[in-house]
Structure 1
Amino acid sequence: MLRFFRQIRQRLLTDNKFSKYLLYAIGEILLVVIGILIALQIDNWNEERKGRIEEQILLRQLKEDYITNLEQLDSKIATRKLLIKSSKELLTYYDNPDSANRDSVISRLGNLSLTVTYDPIDNDLVASGKINMIRNEKLKRLLTKWSTDVIQVQEVEAIYLNAHHYIYFPILSKFGLKRAVDKALYEKVNKVEDLSTFLLNRDELMPYDFKKSRLEPGLQAILNNPELEGMVSNSILINELINSESSTLRKQILEILDLLRASELN
């Protein structure tokens, strides 16, 4: 092809047709420029196509992650509802001691020994720069603020965890109730069908009979303990706050999943 064009140029110069040669040369330059532009366009199109493929892979991974995050969050919310329910029933026993049953009181105190924390999958999109692969601006904003919203929930969870470790458990131990409460919780966990909230593998949990401690206080002593009553009351307050924050987080997950599904179709 190059030889063909070279022959045309030489013929025009030989025939002394400079004006025609000039037009030809301009045409040849235009063809080269057009060829370069077409090549650049093809290259840009290929890069765009590769970018969209990478985006779709990222969106599918994010969808799987946030479905898992939602399942975990729902599990935590359900566990906290159990804590709130048990705490409210315990306060009823404190207000009406005559209606209380010792086994019921110990069982509910065992429930209060449960602590759950939300630990979702974090892709760290902002730090890695992968967030820029996503075209949907609303989805990008929600994903960017996700970590901050999770931290807000975890900060309230930390308050409850600290209260458990430094107030609730010491009260139980000092009062002689820790063994009875541990027994109640251990039996409950052994009976739970879905242990994903507490354990990775039921087979690793060995059965054990804690028996009854000779130091264990009676029912009236338990219901006359103001420190324990205060901890029960605090359990309602903090877990309600955490579930309120978690419900807001849940709505955000659902919105993120809707946007992820919509972006997958485009």
Structure 2
Amino acid sequence: MLRLFKNSRLRLTSGNNGMRYFKYAIGEIVLVVIGILIALSINNWNQSRLDKKQSIEYHQRLIEDMDRVIERSNTLLERANSTLTSIVNSVAVLEKGKIETPKEKADLDYALVWFSRFNYQTPDLSTLEEMKSNGDLNLIYDVKLRKRIVDFNGYLYTVAAIYDNLGMIVHGDLSYFDKFMRSYINLENLDVNFNYDFDQMVSDPEFINRFSRLATHWRGSSYFAGQVERDAVKLKEEIQNELEKLK
């Protein structure tokens, strides 16, 4: 092939064949351009194939992140609801001024153990952070879905800030509760138990008021944990639908 082009070039450059040589040169240029375009097309096709493969992997990992958010939020929701219920029931017992059933005693014991354990760990979307770092957010091809995931990640940090604030309020009241409670630690299993003076609690209206206010904070915990769980479930479904389109 190269010899053919060389021979053709020699024939065209010999004698008065300037126009023919010009046409030949144009043809060579066209062939080079076509070759470059074909190479670029193959390269773009290959890059698109790799991008799609990476996009599928990212969507699968985002679903796994959502599963962790759902699991953690569900655990927090159950704890918040059980603590909230025990506080509400305990306030009723304190207002009544006496413990009449084993359940009432169990509710009060549970409430006094758990009311101050107000903590929250932000369930981060590690896959999204990696995509940001790598400049790969565009591999979530659905723009609306991409915005939904980014907004949800921001909402998680907003909820974390709310929990921090609620936690500081709850922990700020601990010194008042110390007047009526004493903790004991079992050195063998590290369990923590509390003894409390029920009669003094009942005779202190301010204590009952402070205790009742704890219910509002734990209600907030229950609300936001449930909201995060519901949003994560819905977002997971949207990501799964998009993943099915990619496959």
The equivalent of 1:72 in structure 2 is 72
Tell me if the contact between 2:88 and 2:215 (Cα under 8 Å) persists in the aligned partners.
yes
CA distance 1:210–1:70, change in 2 (3 Å): closer
The equivalent of 2:189 in structure 1 is 207
Residue in structure 1 matching 2:182, options 165, 178, 182: 178
CA deviation profile, 1:153-200 (whole Å, cap 9, x unmatched)? 222212332133221x2123222x132xx67xx8xxxxxxxxxxxxxx
CA deviation profile, 1:96-147 (whole Å, cap 9, x unmatched)? 2245457332333223233231321232257523323321212211222233
Q: Distance in 1 between matches of 2:26 and 2:54?
A: 42
Q: Which TM-score applies when normalising by structure 1? A: 0.77
The amino acid across from 1:178 in the alignment is R
CA distance 1:114–1:91, change in 2 (3 Å): same
Please report the RMSD computed on the Cα atoms of aligned residues, expressed in angstroms. Answer: 2.8
Tell me if the contact between 2:94 and 2:208 (Cα under 8 Å) persists in the aligned partners.
yes
Gaps of 5+ in 1: 187-204
Q: Distance in 1 between matches of 2:78 and 2:191?
A: 28
> Relative to total residues, which structure has the larger strand share, 1 or 2?
2
1:81 shift after superposition: 0.4
Tell me if the contact between 1:172 and 1:178 (Cα under 8 Å) persists in the aligned partners.
no
Alignment of 1:11-30 (within 5 A): 11-14=11-14, 16-30=16-30
CA distance 1:178–1:147, change in 2 (3 Å): farther
The amino acid across from 1:110 in the alignment is V
Alignment of 1:127-142 (within 5 A): 127-128=132-133, 129-142=135-148
The amino acid across from 2:69 in the alignment is N
Q: Distance in 2 between matches of 1:238 and 1:255?
A: 26
Tell me if the contact between 1:83 and 1:239 (Cα under 8 Å) persists in the aligned partners.
yes
CA distance 1:41–1:208, change in 2 (3 Å): closer
Tell me if the contact between 1:150 and 1:249 (Cα under 8 Å) persists in the aligned partners.
yes
Alignment of 1:1-266 (within 5 A): 1-14=1-14, 16-100=16-100, 103-104=105-106, 105-123=108-126, 124-125=129-130, 127-128=132-133, 129-167=135-173, 169-175=174-180, 177-179=181-183, 206-207=188-189, 216-217=196-197, 219-265=198-244, 266=246
The amino acid across from 1:158 in the alignment is D
Equivalent residue pairs, number: 239
Gaps of 5+ in 2: none
Secondary structure of residue in 2 paired with 1:178 = strand
CA distance 1:142–1:212, change in 2 (3 Å): closer
Q: Distance in 2 between matches of 1:212 and 1:5?
A: 97
1:91 shift after superposition: 1.8
CA distance 1:116–1:210, change in 2 (3 Å): closer
CA distance 1:12–1:212, change in 2 (3 Å): closer
Q: Distance in 2 between matches of 1:27 and 1:211?
A: 91
Tell me if the contact between 1:12 and 1:18 (Cα under 8 Å) persists in the aligned partners.
yes
CA deviation profile, 1:13-40 (whole Å, cap 9, x unmatched)? 4474544444333222211111111111
The equivalent of 1:195 in structure 2 is none
1:77 shift after superposition: 0.7
CA deviation profile, 1:228-251 (whole Å, cap 9, x unmatched)? 322332222112223222333223
CA distance 1:210–1:154, change in 2 (3 Å): closer
1:52 shift after superposition: 2.0
CA distance 1:209–1:125, change in 2 (3 Å): closer
CA distance 1:225–1:27, change in 2 (3 Å): same
CA distance 1:208–1:36, change in 2 (3 Å): closer
Q: Distance in 2 between matches of 1:173 and 1:143?
A: 44
Q: Which TM-score applies when normalising by structure 2? A: 0.82
Identity across the alignment (%): 22
